[in-house]
Amino acid sequence: MSRTLIRGATLVDGTRGDLLLDDGRIAEIGSVTDAAGATVIDADGLLALPGLVDLHTHLREPGFEQSETVLTGSRAAAAGGYTAVFPMANTSPVADTAGVVEQELRLGEDAGYVTVQPIGAVTVGLAGERLAELGAMAASRAKVRVFSDDGLCVWDPLLMRRALEYVKAFDGVIAQHAQEPRLTEGAQMNEGALSGELGLRGWPAVAEEAIIARDALLAEHVGSRLHVCHLSTAGSVEVVRWAKARGIRITAEVTPHHLLLTDDLVASYDARYKVNPPLRTAEDVEALRDALADGTIDIVATDHAPHPAESKECEWDAAANGMVGLESALSVVHEAMVETGRFGWADVARVMSAAPASIGSLAGHGHALEAGAPAELALYDPEVRAEFGVGSLAGRSRNSPYLGSTLPGRVVATFHRGVPTVLDGQVRPADEVAGGARG
């Protein structure tokens, strides 16, 4: 049984302390004197954060293993300080049955780097026509609680209403990809002054805001829980703020890239910046940061979307949407929220760990670091500032918009169930991680 003593880490409240990890739990915290047989890690100057939880990940397996697998995506997650991820259902076959979600769960357990908690599809084959077997997926060994057709909007209002109602039976939540399909046919970038100039088909903010408003009213009407994926506009923030003030059970997420990057990057026609929803304006970025700070937006989720090189090295229209984000998320939030004075580290822990675990009803994650809590944590060096390069990526794909730019901070170590998955900034070999978790 592995015992690890983390010596002299800084906790999110600013105090310093030791953490003794034993048998997958935090055995002691504070000033640890008796640590016989423990591996000692010097954490002087490092921040101890609860293991991060990503409510929005694409692991691509089964079906798109050339982009990512559960194993490679788990390694990318660990490299970013994550200990749990929720993979989206748009695999092939689609995760719309108990069989597929259980397979993903097992692949995650075999990999051993993070808890892989599958998300189930809302509709069969993401086709938006018939409800998938939501109950069977909830009752399966994967215990699915989050359902989403992400990548596609559950557009049919009646189907959306039924889904919201149906998952109440097991306290599930529908995570909506808010995109009015008719208003975004062929859309390539944020609709505004720049889209007109570049001759790229626009993706208007109203296409997101109208669906969020509709869904909020539906959730209110049927008394259900609604989660909104990747909010991207100032208008969406206003709608969610209004819905929360009304007492509607709505939660919202924002991606790291929507907190940092703006649509003017598209002028390069460099498809690394192509993502859905698209990068928006500087005003939208400001509104999203403020909304995350005041609690209107509940969580940060990566929308980690790996793609092979050929899907990005091409003309803009033909390129795939999406960016990888697990490895860079914490640094981007650091830059967008901490360095701008909006967040302390306790806030970071809330929006990247506690709140997403709570929305996803995931036990064993998101706990504050205290004696008796599961040993899910990350050590982060907030003082360094370095170029984000290909070496910083740990998954199978390289479609990061940050390659070549400088970002603050670095994940030095990650522990999942007390086992180090990352040490000295390096992802640990798969056999040692899997062996450690079983042992």
Partner 1 sequence: MRHLLSTRDLGREQAIELLDIAEDMAAVQQREVRKLPTLRGRTVVNLFFEDSTRTRVSFEAAAKRLSADVITFSAKGSSVSKGESLKDTAQTLQAIGADAVVVRHQASGAPQTLATSGWIDAGVVNAGDGTHEHPTQALLDAFTMRRRLHGDASRGRGLDGARVVIVGDVLHSRVARSNVWLLDALGAEVTLVAPPTLLPVDVSAWPARVGYDLDAAIDSGPDAVMMLRVQAERMHAAFFPNSREYSRTWGLDDARFARLPRTTMVMHPGPMNRGFEIAASAADSAQSTVLEQVANGVSVRMAALYLLLSGEREEAA
Cβ of residue 403: shortest distance to partner 1, in angstroms?
A: 15
Q: Say how many Å lie between the first and final Cα of the chain, rounded.
A: 7
For the segment 75-114, give every residue that binds partner 1 (CB under 8 A). Answer: none
Cβ of residue 278: shortest distance to partner 1, in angstroms?
A: 14
Candidate segments 4-12, 71-79, 166-174, 200-208, binder of partner 1 by CB under 8 A: 200-208
Place of tokens 């990005």: 312
Rounded Cα distance, 36 and 69, in Å: 38
> What is the enclosing helix (H) or strand (E) of 74?
helix 70-79
Nearer to partner 1, 198 or 423 (CB): 198
Nearer to partner 1, 281 or 296 (CB): 281
Place of tokens 């892989």: 116
Nearer to partner 1, 234 or 354 (CB): 234
For the segment 41-80, give every residue that binds partner 1 (CB under 8 A). Answer: none
Nearer to partner 1, 267 or 371 (CB): 267
318 lies in the binding site for partner 1 (CB under 8 A): yes
Helix (H, G, I), strand (E, B) or coil at 263: helix
Rounded Cα distance, 10 and 369, in Å: 11
Catalytic residue among 18, 303, 381, 431: 303
Helix (H, G, I), strand (E, B) or coil at 174: strand
Cβ of residue 406: shortest distance to partner 1, in angstroms?
A: 22
For the segment 250-289, give every residue that binds partner 1 (CB under 8 A). Answer: 268-271
Nearer to partner 1, 74 or 397 (CB): 397
Closest CA to 116 of 128, 108, 124, 126: 108
* Distances from the Cα of 230 to the Cα of 29, 85, 130, angstroms: 36, 16, 24
Query: Which of 36, 37, 199, 429 touches partner 1 by CB under 8 A?
Result: 199
127 lies in the binding site for partner 1 (CB under 8 A): no
310 lies in the binding site for partner 1 (CB under 8 A): yes
* Distances from the Cα of 268 to the Cα of 168, 194, 263, angstroms: 46, 12, 10
130 Cβ contact list (under 8 Å, min separation 6): 123, 124
Query: Which of 283, 317, 370, 387 touches partner 1 by CB under 8 A?
Result: 317
Alpha helix segments (H runs only) across 187-281: 193-198, 205-222, 234-245, 256-260
With beta carbons less than 8 A apart as the criterion, state whether 296 and 248 touch: no
Cβ of residue 180: shortest distance to partner 1, in angstroms?
A: 15
The mark string for 142-181 relative to partner 1 (x by CB under 8 A, - otherwise) is: ----------------------------------------
Cβ of residue 270: shortest distance to partner 1, in angstroms?
A: 8
Cβ of residue 181: shortest distance to partner 1, in angstroms?
A: 15
Nearer to partner 1, 103 or 400 (CB): 400
303 is catalytic: yes
200 lies in the binding site for partner 1 (CB under 8 A): yes
429 lies in the binding site for partner 1 (CB under 8 A): no
Alpha helix segments (H runs only) across 223-372: 234-245, 256-260, 282-294, 329-333, 345-349, 355-359
With beta carbons less than 8 A apart as the criterion, state whether 241 and 171 touch: no
Nearer to partner 1, 176 or 311 (CB): 311
Query: Which of 30, 62, 151, 192 touches partner 1 by CB under 8 A?
Result: 192
How does 405-430 read in b/e, with b if 16+ C-beta sit within 10 Å?
eebbbbbbbbbbbbbbbbbeeebbeb
Query: Which of 99, 135, 204, 408 touches partner 1 by CB under 8 A?
Result: 204
Alpha helix segments (H runs only) across 118-204: 134-139, 157-166, 193-198
Tell me 295's DSSP state.
Answer: T
For the segment 4-43, give every residue that binds partner 1 (CB under 8 A). Answer: none
Cβ of residue 263: shortest distance to partner 1, in angstroms?
A: 12
Angle at 26 between CA 335 and CA 412, to 5 degrees: 35
Place of tokens 């036990």: 363
Cβ of residue 333: shortest distance to partner 1, in angstroms?
A: 31
Query: Which of 24, 51, 108, 202 touches partner 1 by CB under 8 A?
Result: 202
Residues at the interface with partner 1 (CB under 8 A): 188, 191-193, 195-200, 202, 204, 268-271, 310, 313-318
Q: Hey, which residues are catalytic here?
A: 303
